[in-house]
Structure 1
């Protein structure tokens, strides 16, 4: 949006207009229905993310970093928001099983070392480096996406902003894969064969428009990330898996029932993240909306 206003048009459009414009290509992208066809887009997105990471490191370490004005720890009341952001960033429950099921050698997905361990360890390392040194460089003015802190008039920074936008665009259909796969499995038997393709197109387009409507109603990147991480990913990634494994292995919970106690801690942690994260995020949204109306 900022790049478009800066380099393409002299008219500054509201963010809601950009949400409507981007809905058109997104509706086309989500019509891709097979995971193997989405893999090349995911590869391109990963390459762009790595390039963005390198550019951000260039700006972070481009000048001497001042540590005197940095706080060792933040406000404790903001910890739920931080936790929600971390859960959002690390969560990938929606594509874990589909990726494993479509691998040529699914046995390589789990274990140590494995595809999951190597991938998540790399992601954790990159996130930790970017978050830590990003704060060292920008301090409390660090925004929801570090690319927003990069200058608007340098070409490396412009490329980073474009790369991160394209990477999100290319990986967007992955978030629909599991949801629409479930929809297809249960809805197709009740739909006549000649209408199934139309129903697929309609369902995929409707999901995009619903997400677009939420973005138009609440164009707040940081707060939306927090509330999605707290509400949906705490449930999908922590609470439900803990409950399911406990029920599935109820007859054999291991020595001293360690599986039960482990899952109990995970579920309690998920519930705490859900309640505290949603509370803080909703309060932030209300505060921002009140400031706009004053």
Structure 2
């Protein structure tokens, strides 16, 4: 898999006047000119999509529903999911349109934003000088945030097992204990080498989910003991957590790039729509029944709610701790790749030292994720903060802004409905991001002070 920071195997296309497409560009199909090494079939891509979208975020859904209620939760999950899918369609279609206009087979997210802003309305030109580092920066920070969440999740899971069978220790000590294992796996710099680990993690996840669902359905209380609605003040936390769970912009773009038949990705019954329908159904069901079972006691990961003394529950915690440890290296790959390969490696002239310096960068990233996790050990609040801040921008605001820029030369349709729609999406993203981040930060500070 190739991260968003990597180029498409050629020099980034130069920005030109997007209002005057190159002669014959209407006949140019970027999909037919992609030269993909070892392309994936539609079914393989579908499997990758499900794996990328169904991860540890699904385990946070009961906690998210505790901030919304069992009626508000499912409705808003489907609405947020629908908006997220629409924005992904916007992003992929806009990138395709720019590739067609510039007659290149592929361009990355940051390249597309730079060229789109150059060709778009003058009002957005002030962002142009920082467009590429801005997109890359948010992608790198988002995946860094995921890694911080994973440090907390792994430590909490191990703590419950150790507390039960050995000795009770502070969760921060467990974070110290996993530093070396995290760095050892994170020192693997090749996704090809990580592939066997990923495959193993995939198989283990099926077993882990089965155990969790067994405990959820075992002792459901009367639904009347749960709240159908929650206070509006708690919804920003719900928004951030759900957005974190269902959005994976970088991965979704990367697997589309590797397809042998990329047109099947965004068909009405293509990989994106069908895959997201399955993902949203699973997230809604786990959130609903998990909240029904645990109510306001639902923790940042449902694995922290299942019985601590049961051996089967401990097996599930071990499984998810191991799979999350493996996923840490995959998610962190994007951050290291952007920081080192795109920005720092070119500054080191002595190539014999590249491996050493990259390993030092990776070690620094591991230490920083540890520091953030120690400072903010509340998993649910960290999920909400990362989701609200980064994904509101990457998954909602930037795609809408890119489509505004791409359609600038050709117009926005009757009554400029396309422009109005995208401005509303940007407003929704800004509002959700600002409010969600503010509420998350306030609660993090309150928890820290207490």
TM-score (norm: length of structure 1) = 0.90
SS in structure 2 opposite 1:68? helix
For residue 346 of structure 2, what is the aligned residue in structure 1?
A: 189
Match among 251, 260, 263 for residue 419 of structure 2 = 260
Q: Is the 8 A contact 1:53 1:130 kept in 2?
A: no
- Structure 1 residue 64: Cα displacement: 4.7
Q: Show CA shifts across 1:65-98 (max 9, x none).
A: 3122111111111001100000111110122222
Q: Is the 8 A contact 2:223 2:292 kept in 1?
A: yes
For residue 440 of structure 2, what is the aligned residue in structure 1?
A: 281
Distance, in Å, in 2 between the alignment partners of 1:143 and 1:13 is: 19
Comparing 191-200 with 94-103, greater Cα deviation is found at 94-103
SS in structure 2 opposite 1:153? coil
Q: Show CA shifts across 1:121-146 (max 9, x none).
A: 22211111111011111122111111
Distance, in Å, in 2 between the alignment partners of 1:185 and 1:110 is: 29
From the superposition, tell whether residues 54 and 125 of structure 1 become closer, same or farther in structure 2 (CA, over 3 Å). Answer: same
- Structure 1 residue 210: Cα displacement: 0.8
For residue 239 of structure 1, what is the aligned residue in structure 2?
A: 397
Q: Is the 8 A contact 2:226 2:292 kept in 1?
A: yes
Distance, in Å, in 1 between the alignment partners of 2:449 and 2:437 is: 18
For residue 129 of structure 1, what is the aligned residue in structure 2?
A: 285
Aligned residues: 289
Q: Is the 8 A contact 1:95 1:174 kept in 2?
A: no
**2:216 counterpart of 1:57:** no
For residue 224 of structure 1, what is the aligned residue in structure 2?
A: 382
For residue 6 of structure 1, what is the aligned residue in structure 2?
A: 164
For residue 69 of structure 1, what is the aligned residue in structure 2?
A: 225
Distance, in Å, in 1 between the alignment partners of 2:333 and 2:270 is: 23
Q: Is the 8 A contact 1:95 1:178 kept in 2?
A: no
From the superposition, tell whether residues 213 and 124 of structure 1 become closer, same or farther in structure 2 (CA, over 3 Å). Answer: same
For residue 211 of structure 1, what is the aligned residue in structure 2?
A: 369
TM-score (norm: length of structure 2) = 0.60
From the superposition, tell whether residues 44 and 119 of structure 1 become closer, same or farther in structure 2 (CA, over 3 Å). Answer: farther
For residue 269 of structure 1, what is the aligned residue in structure 2?
A: 428
Q: Is the 8 A contact 1:31 1:201 kept in 2?
A: yes
From the superposition, tell whether residues 116 and 166 of structure 1 become closer, same or farther in structure 2 (CA, over 3 Å). Answer: farther
- Structure 1 residue 212: Cα displacement: 0.9
SS in structure 1 opposite 2:222? coil
**2:260 counterpart of 1:101:** no
From the superposition, tell whether residues 34 and 106 of structure 1 become closer, same or farther in structure 2 (CA, over 3 Å). Answer: farther
Q: Is the 8 A contact 1:19 1:216 kept in 2?
A: yes
Structure 1 residues 78-93: aligned runs within 5 Å: 78-93=234-249
Distance, in Å, in 1 between the alignment partners of 2:446 and 2:185 is: 35
Q: Is the 8 A contact 1:246 1:253 kept in 2?
A: no
From the superposition, tell whether residues 258 and 204 of structure 1 become closer, same or farther in structure 2 (CA, over 3 Å). Answer: farther
CA-based RMSD of the aligned residues comes to: 2.0
- Structure 1 residue 186: Cα displacement: 3.2
